[in-house]
């Protein structure tokens, strides 16, 4: 007879999942990054596996951002972009992930000299291959790299409006949150234009700063979901607002520890967020960089946070309901989750 731990592990593996918070470059597997690094040996990324894994040991979030930018610099052609998309789709499909909203930062590709139409064609081609060959639906979120301020906002919006991929569903904002205030109006204007074009507002907020950044995402950017949001608990009024509105929060526990935002998993606020009645989804962020997977995050929820099968299934269902899937697509995955439960 299987042990309880083995049974929970089997349950997690069989659970249909949706991934809402994962970055294209950050999702590149170690072998893929090594391939790119060896293809572009003039870049700043190690070409040896042991050295690369050491390269992924982050001191803090600014160091993580520096490493992420270094890996981004290896993505120099539209074919590289397509390879990354298919690679993450393959990894997620193996975890029984049915749908992913993949965050792409097109401004970095513009800076590398890639034409917008060529990047879009690569994204479209990769999404079709993921659907037809791997059985996973890929949607895209275009993400402003916050460190580039108004230029990054304009470049990201320009691509989203003039050359959108077929599966573009959302508009995001990432990077170091402390650098946002001087560019607040540019970010607000870009989000207003993106929302007017029918894109969902899906910014990161409250990962490395406090509740004030989450309030700005809600009131200034019209957020429909919050990336991370883990520092919301410091403001009772914000907690009450999030509970009342059931605004989804994309929580990435291992990421928060690896970037130094939370001291360790035992101190992570996810259990209290659930106790407060907040709408939480579970996500992997940059899985190979953090030595995790989406399935691994569900294991953390079970083993560290003590969530039972019903709670794990509820998190999986939350991700479906918070997604940009059409009603039929959501209904089908929810039915499959219910069947496993």
Torsion angle of C-alpha atoms 170, 339, 134, 104, degrees rounded to 10? 20
Spatial distance between the Cα atoms of 68 and 62, rounded to a whole number of angstroms? 10
% of the chain surpassing 70 pLDDT:
99
Between strands 204-205 and 249-251, the pairing is unpaired
| DSSP state at residue 252 | -
Spatial distance between the Cα atoms of 74 and 304, rounded to a whole number of angstroms? 36
- CA atoms 167, 196, 142, 177: torsion sign: negative
Does the structure show a pLDDT above 60 at 101? yes
Find the mean pLDDT for residues 290-314. Answer: 96
Q: For residue 190, what pLDDT is reported? A: 98
Give the pLDDT confidence of 264-288 residue by residue, as tens digits: 999 999 999 999 999 999 999 999 8
201 vs 44: which has the higher pLDDT:
201
Strand partners, 281: 250
Catalytic residues: 207
Does the structure show a pLDDT above 90 at 72? no
Contacts of 44 (CB under 8 A, 6+ apart): 70, 73
Give the pLDDT confidence of 193-248 residue by residue, as tens digits: 999 999 999 999 999 999 999 999 999 999 999 999 999 999 999 999 999 999 99
Structure tokens at 142: 């275009």
Q: For residue 38, what pLDDT is reported? A: 87
Does the structure show a pLDDT above 60 at 2? no
Q: For residue 75, what pLDDT is reported? A: 87
Q: Which helix (H) or strand (E) holds 13?
A: helix 4-14
Extended beta strands in 215-298, E state? 226-228, 249-251, 280-282
CB 147 within 8 A of CB 175: yes
Model confidence at 3, pLDDT cuts 50, 70, 90, reads: low
Q: Which of these CATH numbers, 3.40.50.720, 1.10.10.10, 3.20.20.140, 3.40.50.2300, describes 4-340?
A: 3.20.20.140
> pLDDT averaged over the chain?
94
Place of tokens 């309901």: 321
- CA atoms 286, 292, 298, 301: torsion sign: negative
String of DSSP letters for 151-217: HHHHHHHHHHHHS--TTEEEEEEES-GGG-GGGHHHHHHHHHHHHHTT-EE--EESSSS-HHHHHHH
- CA atoms 324, 328, 332, 334: torsion sign: positive
Give the CA angle between residues 154, 110, 286 to the nearest 5°. Answer: 95
Q: What is this structure's pTM?
A: 0.93
28 vs 174: which has the higher pLDDT:
174
Model confidence at 1, pLDDT cuts 50, 70, 90, reads: very low
CB-side exposure of 130: number of CA atoms within 13 Å? 31
């Amino acid at each position: 007879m299987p042990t309880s731990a083995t049974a929970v592990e089997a349950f997690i593996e069989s659970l249909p999942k949706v991934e809402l918070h994962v970055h294209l470059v950050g999702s590149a597997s170690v072998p893929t990054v090594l391939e790119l690094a060896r293809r572009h040996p003039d870049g700043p990324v190690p070409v040896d596996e042991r050295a690369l894994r050491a390269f992924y040991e982050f001191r803090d979030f600014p160091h993580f951002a520096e490493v992420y930018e270094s890996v981004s610099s290896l993505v120099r052609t539209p074919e590289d972009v397509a390879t990354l998309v298919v690679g993450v789709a393959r990894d997620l499909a193996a975890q029984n992930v049915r749908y992913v909203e993949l965050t792409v930062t097109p401004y970095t590709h513009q800076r590398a000299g890639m034409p917008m139409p060529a990047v879009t064609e690569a994204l479209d081609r990769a999404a079709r291959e993921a659907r037809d060959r791997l059985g996973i639906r890929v949607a895209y979120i275009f993400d402003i790299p916050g460190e580039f301020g108004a230029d990054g906002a304009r470049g990201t919006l320009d691509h989203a409006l003039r050359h959108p991929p077929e599966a573009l569903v959302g508009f995001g904002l990432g990077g170091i949150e402390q650098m946002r205030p001087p560019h607040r109006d540019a970010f607000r204007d870009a989000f207003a234009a993106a929302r007017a074009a029918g894109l969902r507002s899906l910014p990161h907020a409250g990962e490395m700063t406090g509740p004030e950044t989450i309030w700005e995402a809600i009131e200034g950017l019209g957020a429909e979901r919050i990336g991370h949001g883990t520092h919301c608990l410091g403001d009772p009024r914000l907690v009450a607002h999030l509970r009342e509105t059931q605004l989804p929060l994309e929580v990435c526990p291992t990421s928060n520890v690896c970037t130094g935002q939370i001291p360790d998993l035992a101190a992570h606020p996810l259990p209290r967020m659930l106790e407060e009645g907040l709408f939480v989804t579970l996500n992997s962020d940059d899985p190979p960089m953090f030595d995790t997977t989406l399935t691994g995050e569900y294991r953390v929820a079970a083993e560290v946070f003590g969530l039972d099968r019903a709670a794990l299934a509820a998190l999986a269902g939350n991700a479906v309901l918070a997604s940009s899937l059409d009603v039929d697509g959501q209904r089908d995955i929810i039915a499959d989750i219910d069947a496993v439960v």
